[in-house]
Amino acid sequence: MLVSINWLKDYVNTQQLPPAELGEKITRSGIEVDAVIDRSHGMTNVVVGYVESCVKHPEADKLSICQVDVGEETTQIICGAPNIAEGQKVIVARPGAKLPGGMKIKKAKLRGEESNGMICSLQELGIEGKLVPKAYAEGIYVLPADSETGSDVIANFNLDDTVLELGLTPNRADAMSMLGVAYEVGAILSEEVKLPEISYQESADTAASMLTLTVDAPEANPLYVAKVIRNIKVQESPMWLQQRLMAAGVRPHNNVVDVTNYVLMEYGQPLHAFDYDLLGTGNITVRHAKEGEMITTLDDAERKLSAHQLVITNGKKPVAIAGVMGGANSEVSDATTTVVIESAYFESGSVRQTSKDHGLRSDASSRFEKGVDPNRVIPAAERAAQLLSELAGGEVLSGSVVFDKVSKDEKIVKVSPDFINSRLGMKIAFEEMLDILNRLKFTTEAVNGQLVISVPTRRQDIQIPEDIIEEIARLHGYDEIPATLPEAETTPGGLTPYQAKRRIVRNFLEGAGLLQATTYSLTSEKSAKQFALEKTETTRLLMPMSEERSILRQSLLPHLLESVTYNTARRIDSVALYETGAVFLKGNDELLNEQEHLAVAITGLWLDNSWQGEKKPVDFFVLKGIVEGLGAKLGAELTFERGQMDDLHPGRTAFVVLGGQRIGVIGQLHPSEQKARDLKTTVVMELNLAALLNLETESLVYTQVPRYPSMSRDVALVLSKFVEAATIENVIRSAGGKLLKDVRVFDLYEGDKMEEGKKSVAFSLTYFDPEKTLTDEEVTKAHDKVLAALTEVGAELRS
């Protein structure tokens, strides 16, 4: 909502406050002022000029040489506008003038001809092109013939004005009008509101003699008022009206349309003007549309109507979509002589739905859908009639054609002062409360210590005692509210074990050198299931904004890998990212099974200390080590089983298993996938983090630090290339007996010196007895059993 302060002053005394200060007061008491706009933009030296003569420039087709009377003198100005003509009153920026945007006017020579100033368009005065009347959109603006030559344009044409741009919240529909803002300002400044005085000459003939009205949808349209004005002359509106509309962000058209818009801005009540003769039937019928019925609206769009949509008809065919937009078939034009002015109360839900159906939001629909004031419907119609009789020479037929079933009762809200103070945590005196309510023009009575408040219908946002608390608090001033802390019992607060463990996981991964990433949950059909541990039916948005963000992800990896590629494409060759977040699987009920996952993607060098000769690219085992460490941290016994997954290297992929369940995967990207993503060797991992975090951990009891030394024996084995280390480790563990404490691989050789298809794996075995120092014989005895078992499974001992 754009509020011209000059216009506002018609209704309320703004106490000569500087605009910025007024804006601040409004902001602090409830309606945010987003901007304070000086309409003069600091302009100076712009006057009314009279074009005494105008001839073509001999050297330039498009330029005219004008002799312009600017009051003090007659001077020559060169003008390039196509619509310049002798006898016009025009806007002249004199030499030395400053124009919006910083342009300074100087005397100049244009193709050899002297030019002492500039004849201006409205755009050059800082008015947005879309607000400039169409007739002047491509040229200079022509002032009314009675404008005083030499007078100051800024002062005379309402450009010495400031506009407050209000950022309205949806509850404050009341402030979508100048009167509504006047009430708000009046409450803030303790000033009275002066309503427009409506009086005009009525014709002897009645409106009812020319127009009949039928309302077939009283629920959607409980109040409809029509006035008939004849013998009007459709023409340009006077300057003051045009300027007020432009200040309010509305483009002037002609006096009839401008009056309906002016009253809309003034009262917040949308009006519509029909050409009576084009209606053709002398009847208005409000009804629901017939399914499939068509109408061409004022924006020249042909629209198909549905049965739930309300239309205005001439008794035969639709002439407007109620509350949304008029029809082209009854549009007011220069030829119009008789108009029907409609002022109505359309039910908000109906307008909202219809405007949504057609994707059409107008100044009218945005007010109807928030609920207009039923007590302003009739006054607004009267106000329009008055202005049309004044500005268009119209003859207003007496009375109105009215259908009125709407309730205009004020809402009664009862609230006790104690309740108000206890909810605010402060003491506002009863008298002060009364004063505030009085300033708001809420009729208030004190009954048995209770405030009984009649809320005017313009404030439909006030329904319950809490709404009154807000009104009182905001006008009393939020700064006055003290700062306290809740007095309730203190609670321990804290994280759940799940949340605490999630932080442990993050700390662990970051300590291991990974950066936390965050990617989008919405993805494309193509990426939704890639790398998913559990593939379920995908979930698609009803109305996605793009195909790339249309499906909920089932794996974190596709987007994480996109982030890796983003970095490598910028020559960051080593990237190690992790992310935790939800994947969205089909669930048992209407909601999805949201599973919190952890994903890691690493590419490039894992170890990079090149001046010391250490440079190691990342591999499968880097990630395996991270997962093992994570398992140890969380007390989860994780095992790994060889597996395969699409787009992972078939020989370098393992599933992570917890308690017999596959909860994750580790792998190197398949070379073709790496190529597709423009990556070098990249390893990835994704885990069902929730499964890990939900694991109940046992309480930690320490094991005694060994008092006796352990002894170790190494064994090197020649194995078939396809025998896995874990198989051999299991053989060793089961043969080692209770003295065998630990088994570790310490060497692997697969080089040239090995027989084809063989490899050498060396294990280090640690023997230990918590009760005593082991003797060589005891260890040998245990170790011999291990060696025997190894030989039995075909492992060849290497000397």
Partner 1 sequence: MEAQLQELKTQALEKIASASTVKELNDVRVAYLGKKGPITDLLKGMGKLPAEERPKMGALVNVVREQVTSQLEGRMVLLEEEAINAKLQSETIDITLPGRPVKTGNSHPLTRVVEEIEDLFISMGYEVAEGPEVEKDYYNFEALNLPKGHPARDMQDSFYITEDVLLRTHTSPVQARTMEAKGGEPIKIICPGKVYRRDSDDATHSHQFTQIEGLVIGEDIRMSDLKGTLSVFAKKMFGDDREIRLRPSFFPFTEPSVEMDISCFKCGGSGCNVCKKTGWIEILGAGMVHPNVLEMAGYDSKRLTGFAFGMGPERIAMLKYGVEDIRHFYTNDVRFLSQFQRTEL
CB of 127 to partner 1, least distance (A): 25
- Residue 705 CB neighbours (<10 A): 5
* Among the listed residues 230, 549, 741, 798, the single contact to partner 1 using CB under 8 A: 549
Mapped onto helix, strand or coil, the DSSP state of residue 628 is helix
Q: Which residues pair with 617 in a beta bridge?
A: 605
Shorter beta-carbon distance to partner 1: residue 345 or 584? 584
Residue 542 within binding range of partner 1, rule CB under 8 A: yes
Q: Distance between CA 576 and CA 574 in Å, rounded?
A: 7
| Strands 522-523, 551-552: pairing kind | antiparallel
Kindly state whether residue 514 participates in binding partner 1, applying the rule CB under 8 A: yes
Q: Nearest to residue 71, comparing CAs of 48, 41, 105?
A: 48
* Positions 482 through 511 that interact with partner 1 (CB under 8 A): 482-496, 499, 503, 506, 509-511
Name the residue nearer to partner 1 (CB basis): 251 or 370.
370
Paired residues of 53 in beta bridges? 67
709 near partner 1 (CB under 8 A)? no
Ranges within 326-365 binding partner 1 (CB under 8 A): 348-349, 352-353
Candidates 26-34, 139-147, 302-310, 671-679; binding stretch for partner 1 (CB under 8 A): 26-34
Shortest CB 290 distance to partner 1, Å: 24
User: Counting contacts by CB under 8 A, is residue 16 touching partner 1?
Assistant: no
Identified binder of partner 1 from the candidate list 521, 524, 710, 766, rule CB under 8 A:
521
Supply the minimum distance, in Å, between the C-beta of residue 515 and partner 1.
Answer: 5
Site string for partner 1, 70-109 (x = CB under 8 A): ----------------------------------------
* CB-nearer residue toward partner 1: 112 or 613: 613
Q: Which is nearer to partner 1, 540 or 642 (CB)?
A: 540
Count CA atoms within 13 Å of residue 177 on its CB side. Answer: 27
Which parts of 550-569 interact with partner 1 (CB under 8 A)?
552, 563, 566-567
Q: Which 588-647 positions form the footprint of partner 1 (CB under 8 A)? A: 590-592, 594, 608-609, 611-612, 614
Cα–Cα distance measured from residue 241 to residue 255, given in angstroms and rounded to the nearest whole number = 9
Q: Does 467 bind partner 1 (CB under 8 A)?
A: yes
443 contact partners, CB below 8 Å, separation of at least 6: 410, 453, 454
Cβ(456)–Cβ(376) below 8 Å: no
> How many residues form the binding site for partner 1 (CB under 8 A)?
92
Q: Which is nearer to partner 1, 478 or 708 (CB)?
A: 478
Instruction: Give CA 48 to chain center in angstroms.
Output: 45
> Binding residue for partner 1 (CB under 8 A) from 541, 726, 788, 797?
541
Nearer to partner 1, 232 or 690 (CB): 690
Interacting span for partner 1 (CB under 8 A) from 79-87, 181-189, 587-595, 764-772: 587-595
* Residue with Cβ nearer partner 1 (33 or 226): 33
Residues 787/735, Cβ–Cβ less than 8 Å? no
The CB-of-114 to partner 1 minimum distance in angstroms stands at 43
Burial 294-308 (b: 16+ CB within 10 A, else e): ebebbeeeebebeee
Residue 477 CA: distances (Å) to CA of 30, 64, 351, 424? 10, 60, 36, 12
HSE (side-chain half, CA atoms, 13 Å) at 749: 12
**CA separation for the pair 372, 342 (Å, rounded):** 14
Q: Which two tokens stand for residue 248?
A: 């309010």
User: What is the DSSP-derived secondary structure letter of residue 328?
Assistant: G
Contact with partner 1 (CB under 8 A): which of 69, 202, 404, 466?
Answer: 466
Q: Indicate the residue among 113 and 534 with the shorter CB distance to partner 1.
A: 534
Distance in Å, CB of 603 to partner 1, minimum? 11
Element (H, E) at 420: helix 417-424
First to last CA, the chain: 92
Applying CB under 8 A, does 513 fall inside the site for partner 1?
A: yes
Kindly tell me which residue out of 582, 657, 762, 793 binds partner 1, with binding defined by CB under 8 A: 582
Which residues make beta-bridge pairs with 767? Answer: 711, 740
Q: Where are the alpha helices (DSSP H) in 30-177?
A: 153-156
Q: Does the protein bind partner 1 through residue 474 (CB under 8 A)? A: yes
Q: Which of 519, 555, 674, 760 binds partner 1 (CB under 8 A)?
A: 519
CA nearest neighbour of 236 among 392, 124, 6, 103: 392
| 741, containing H or E segment | strand 740-749
Distance of closest approach, residue 619 Cβ to partner 1, in angstroms: 15
- Token representation of residue 369: 């859908």
Sign of CA dihedral 499, 504, 506, 509: negative
Among 39, 89, 94, 172, binds partner 1 (CB under 8 A): 172
Binding piece for partner 1, criterion CB under 8 A, among 145-153, 266-274, 535-543, 729-737 = 535-543
Cα separations in angstroms, 133 against 141, 337, 692, 793: 9, 22, 68, 97
CA distances from 40 to 35, 125, 155 (A): 15, 8, 9
Q: Identify which of residues 87 and 625 has a Cβ nearer to partner 1 in the complex.
A: 625
Which of 3, 11, 30, 121 touches partner 1 (CB under 8 A)?
Answer: 30
Closest to partner 1 by CB, 335 vs 483, is: 483
Q: Is residue 469 close enough to count as binding partner 1 by CB under 8 A?
A: yes
Count of beta carbons in the 10 Å neighbourhood of residue 438:
13
Among 22-30, 239-247, 430-438, 791-799, the segment contacting partner 1 (CB under 8 A): 22-30
* DSSP code string of 498-526: HHHHHHHHHHHHHHTTPEE----SEE-HH
Among 53, 235, 518, 734, binds partner 1 (CB under 8 A): 518
Q: Is 185 in the site for partner 1 (CB under 8 A)?
A: no
By CB under 8 A, the residues from 397 to 456 that bind partner 1 are 422-426
Contact between 62 and partner 1 (CB under 8 A)?
Answer: no
Q: How far is the CB of 449 from partner 1 (least distance, A)?
A: 18
Nearest distance from C-beta of residue 30 to partner 1, angstroms: 4
- Asked if 67 interacts with partner 1 (CB under 8 A), we say no
Which is closer to partner 1, CB of 371 or CB of 394? 371
Give the list of residues 6+ apart from residue 169 with CB closer than 8 angstroms, or none. 32
Residues 326, 348 contacting (CB under 8 angstroms): no
Take residue 112 and report the two structure tokens written for it: 């050899």
What is the C-alpha to C-alpha distance for residues 559 and 547, in angstroms, rounded to an integer? 15
Place of tokens 């982030």: 563
Q: Which of residues 269-308 bind partner 1 (CB under 8 A)?
A: none
Residue closer to partner 1 (CB basis): 487 or 698: 487
Q: Please state, as a whole number, how many other Cβ atoms lie within 10 Å of the Cβ of residue 19.
A: 17
| Closer Cβ to partner 1, 173 or 322, answer by number | 173
Which residue lies nearer to partner 1 by CB, 170 or 359?
170
Instruction: Report the alpha-carbon distance of residue 48 to residue 702 in Å, rounded.
Output: 96
* Residue 29 near partner 1 by CB under 8 A: yes
Write down the least CB distance from residue 644 to partner 1, Å. Answer: 28
Please give the backbone phi and psi of residue 215, each rounded to the nearest 5 degrees, phi first: -115, 110
In the region spanning residues 365 to 384, those forming contacts with partner 1, defined by CB under 8 A, are: 369-370
Task: Please pick, from the candidates 250, 344, 451, 522, the single residue that binds partner 1 as defined by CB under 8 A.
Answer: 522
Nearer to partner 1, 262 or 346 (CB): 346
- Report the candidate in 749, 717, 745 with the shortest Cα–Cα distance to residue 729: 745
DSSP 259: H
